[in-house]
A and B are shown apart, each in its own frame.
Chain A
Amino acid sequence: MSLAAFRERILARRPLCLRGGGSKDFYGGPLVGERLDVGGYQGIVGYEPSELVMTARAGTPLAELEAALAERGQWMAFEPPAFGGAATLGGAVASGLSGPGRTSCGALRDFVLGAKIMDGEGRELTFGGQVMKNVAGFDVSRLMAGTLGTLGLILEVSFKVLPIPVGQASLRFQLSQDKALDLMNRWAGKPLPVTATSWEEQLLTVRLAGAEAAVQSACGALGGQRLPEAEAAAHWAGLKEQSHAFFAGEAPLWRLSVPSIAGPLPLAGIPLIEWGGAQRWLRGDYAPAQVRAVAQKAGGHATLFRGGDRAAGVFMPLPGPLAAIHQRLKAVFDPHGVFNPGRLLLEL
């Protein structure tokens, strides 16, 4: 696909369903409109390892980017989930999802440095850039993260990459949910090289990464049972890609994003916990109002992440003044309502 072809489709002013590799078709509101495939718009545009920056077209598969980075000992520390082999950079940015290391290295949006988009009038707009520090103009490139394509067609993204940590180790502890939550929060308050945590079925798993010496001394300080390397890698990949047994089957999957210090949530079913307590997954046919109320009471929000009834809205509705700003921003970038109508919020 060429830019001219994208523009022509956009200027036809009919609703479009933007699609990279289709790995996240399940996510967000129902797919509406004619399909616009971005997957063909591929290629790494620039990569300078010593600048810690990579720029690529939106349709480039994540796997290709990861391979190019690995050759130079670098990676996407935000660990974007692929959910299957076809995931693209554009889709990763549009869905805004971050992997297991969210609490230590930041979210996907923190790594976005610049983006080129095509707006609802078919204009190519470039925001941000290829440098780490840039405060010229509003940061529209980071705004794109998590918009699910509702604000424009993402054409190209520049993002920050990091060296792969030298040392790595994963430790396992047998603990109740209460105790695990408590420990995760305590460790996060200490200068320890903890880069990911998970708890499920009485098992707390901790990933340490950084300088070899730091990892070794933290292993000594924390105790627990050290996981063999392959098992550890499979565990974290299983969480990132949702191939872990917890995610198997058809039952609706809820994601609750809450302050890490929230205690066990008053909902039936045992959660899988990540991000030091800040991300909690649940399976089952919960009443949406109930899950949302519980998440809100804990100071967070709930998303119907996979399965269930998407038509009723998978994300929590916004308070009035904030919803109004959303409508106006949508009108700025997509005045004719072309891009992914209803995919993020029913009214957008």
Chain B
Amino acid sequence: MNLPPHSAERDPDFSGAASAALLRELRDILTPESLITDRELLRPYECDGLSAYRRLPFAVALPEDEAQVVAILVACHRAGVPIVPRGAGTGLSAGSMPHPQGVLLSLTKLNRILKLDPVARVAVVQTGARNLAISEAAAPHGLYYAPDPSSQIACTIGGNVAENSGGVHCLKYGLTMQNVLRVRMVTIEGEILELGSHALDAPGYDLLPLVIGSEGLLGIVTEVTVRLTPKPQMAQVIMASFDDVRKAGEAVAAVIAAGIIPAGLEMMDQGAAAAVEPFVKAGYDLEAKAILLCESDGTAEEVAEEVGRMRGVLEHSGATDLRVSRNEAERLRFWAGRKAAFPSAGRISPDYYCMDGTIPKKGLGEMLTAIAAMETKYGLRCINVFHAGDGNLHPLILYDANIPGQLERTEAFGAEILRLSVALGGTITGEHGVGFEKIHSMCEQFSTDELKAFHAVKGAFDPPGLLNPVKAIPSLHRCAEMGRMHVHHGELKFPELERL
């Protein structure tokens, strides 16, 4: 079979797109309130949660149902106009940043929970349904939707599917991938694909893993069936202080090595604890170099047994202080600071830049030491929160965009952290996606052949390459221009370290 031509070589050029004709068609498809072209009204859509990257789209379309989505895609396809899907716009990798010649497709009006079956433990929801709304709807049945990104009040299930989002409890309960049974999506050609099913598998290739985490490059998700999980009877969290970040890192490995999979295992360094404490008054130990939050959930007996084992390991690993939440209010307070880490960073600094590398846990200490050295090198502060249990780091680099040169230094700082993540055997993004932001770092993680394979996979779903172009996968030209080099899984040994 001949594949349609699809260029992995260069970024596509859409200057010849038939935008005026498209606009006429969109006016027929959508009600006037659902089509925005006025410059001032386009403003709110110029960026996602990563405000350093902004662009205005050519138009914003807000379809009200799947039929409108299909019609819009068919029209854009005909006109050769790119489409950027957008959920709530809380993404942190400029994944839904508009394309200047493209239509921004906002899916927030498709926000209904279509069906919730407590016996089958599934909910069928439209793409724009909010993550938390699903758990709220399931709560009366003692069920919830397990992945809980800190942005869960706002972010949509479609965005979660596009990013394979996680939360503080995904160590035990899995990411979006492990909690989605079925995805319904529209291709650029206007065809509807049903992937997965309400059974546990479907015939043919299992395309769910390919589509979950595909950042809007393969199709527009319109409907999702999620798995609901029974709410544990209770949970308790241990807050442990350490006088050394390396010791805290080793404690994380020790907990796992002891055969315990905590419901959540998070770490904050001193800077992060100091940043959040004034806002949430969680009672964090501000003397500690690092704080671990280690949660157990289940039946009362189970939690008592597990908390006992966790305490033992943490004490043995040199914790200087241990506090176990005594009630639900206290548990939530211990967590509140961790969950508010990003907004707190925003309050202590005009701007912050959140990184998202994942590394094998054994590299935590080395990474933290390296970051401390980078703070000096770039003259910028960095506070650290980690999904420590699965090695997913969120260093928050604090900067001020109004000071000339700071953004550039911040980007270089971030890129260096990601380079080290790859060199330590990890990845440039654990849950926030590549988007536009990390597109150059992809050149370091993947070889030319691998990048070509990604482009070809995209071509299999989106032959004209109109869905979210210039995101997630760099063209080979881009990689060559940036002079970025593929660090093949640690083969190139830590070239950065010598320069520290």
Contacts and interface: CB of A to CB of B under 8 A. Distances in A.
**A and B pair up:** yes
Interface of A: 48-53, 73-74, 96, 102-103, 106-107, 109-110, 119, 123-127, 129-140, 142-143, 145-147, 151, 162-164, 166, 185-186, 188-193, 210-214, 216-218, 257-261, 275, 278-279, 299-301, 303, 315-319, 321-323, 325-333, 344-345
A262 to B, nearest CB: 9
Interface string B276-301: 00000000000000000000001101
Given A136-B429, A344-B204, A50 B361 contact: yes
Interface string B330-361: 00000000000000000000000000001111
Contact of B177 (A48, A52, A110, A185): A110
Given A48-B362, A188-B121, A213-B304, A136 B434 contact: yes
Nearest to B1: A331
A142 B472 CA distance: 18
B390 A133 contact: yes
A143 B230 contact: no
A189 B229 CA distance: 7
26 contacts: A107-B200, A124-B449, A131-B360, A131-B391, A132-B358, A136-B438, A137-B442, A137-B472, A138-B213, A143-B209, A146-B201, A189-B119, A189-B121, A189-B142, A191-B298, A193-B302, A214-B301, A259-B197, A299-B199, A316-B203, A323-B204, A325-B461, A326-B204, A328-B461, A329-B205, A345-B204
B499 to A, nearest CB: 24
Given A73-B259, A186-B119, A217 B301 contact: yes
A137 B233 contact: no
A317 B119 CA distance: 30
A127 B450 contact: yes
B11 interface: no
A192 B233 CA distance: 10
Contacts of B428: 136
B259 A133 contact: no
Contacts of A279: 200
Contact of B430 (A102, A135, A164): A135
B109 interface: no
A288 B339 CA distance: 53
Contacts of A331: 1, 3, 460
Given A49-B257, A217-B301, A329 B460 contact: yes
Contacts of B305: 211-214
Contacts of A127: 450
Given A73-B259, A186-B119, A137 B298 contact: no
Contact of A138 (B214, B304, B387): B214
B367 interface: no
B205 A143 contact: yes
B489 A259 contact: no
A130 B425 contact: yes
B212 A139 contact: yes
B445 A137 contact: yes
B149 interface: no
Interface size class of B (residues with CB under 8 A): 35 or more
A142 B174 contact: no
A185 B119 contact: yes
Of A136, A139, A212, A331, most B-chain CB atoms within 10 Å: A136
A321 B187 contact: yes
A234 to B, nearest CB: 25
B453 A333 contact: yes
B368 interface: no
Interface stretch (B53-61, B68-76, B163-171): B163-171
Interface of B: 1, 3, 117-121, 141-143, 163-164, 166, 170-171, 174-175, 177-178, 187, 191-195, 197-207, 209-210, 212-214, 218, 230-233, 253-254, 256-257, 259-261, 298-299, 301-302, 304-306, 358-362, 387, 390-392, 425-434, 438, 442, 445-447, 449-450, 453-454, 456-461, 472-473, 489
Contacts of B195: 322
B317 to A, nearest CB: 12
A78 to B, nearest CB: 12
Given A137-B434, A344-B204, 11 more contacts: A50-B254, A51-B256, A126-B489, A131-B425, A193-B302, A211-B306, A213-B304, A216-B301, A261-B117, A332-B456, A345-B203
Of A132, A193, A344, most B-chain CB atoms within 10 Å: A132
Given A126-B489, A189-B142, A135 B164 contact: yes
A112 to B, nearest CB: 8
A110 B206 CA distance: 11
Contact of B199 (A142, A189, A193, A278): A278
A190 B142 contact: yes
B148 to A, nearest CB: 14
B392 A133 contact: yes
Nearest to A74: B259
B89 to A, nearest CB: 18
A211 B305 CA distance: 7
A107 B417 CA distance: 33
A103 B432 CA distance: 27
Given A143-B205, A191-B230, A315-B204, A123 B449 contact: yes
Nearest to B122: A259
A37 B420 CA distance: 38
Contacts of B210: 138-140, 142-143
Contacts of A140: 210, 453-454, 457
A318 B203 CA distance: 7
A102 B200 contact: yes
B445 A131 contact: no
A74 B261 CA distance: 12
A213 B301 contact: yes
Contacts of A318: 203-204
A110 B170 CA distance: 13
A332 B175 CA distance: 28
Of A135, A193, A217, A278, most B-chain CB atoms within 10 Å: A135
A211 B302 contact: yes
A316 B254 CA distance: 47
A51 B174 CA distance: 16
Contact of B193 (A191, A217, A322): A322
A213 B233 CA distance: 14
Of B119, B203, B387, most A-chain CB atoms within 10 Å: B203
B387 A133 contact: yes
A222 to B, nearest CB: 13
Of A131, A322, A328, A333, most B-chain CB atoms within 10 Å: A131
Contacts of B433: 135
A189 B141 contact: yes
Given A185-B119, A321-B187, A133 B358 contact: yes
Contacts of B426: 129-131, 134
A131 B199 contact: no
Contacts of B360: 48, 51, 53, 130-131
A76 B403 CA distance: 52
A109 B177 CA distance: 10
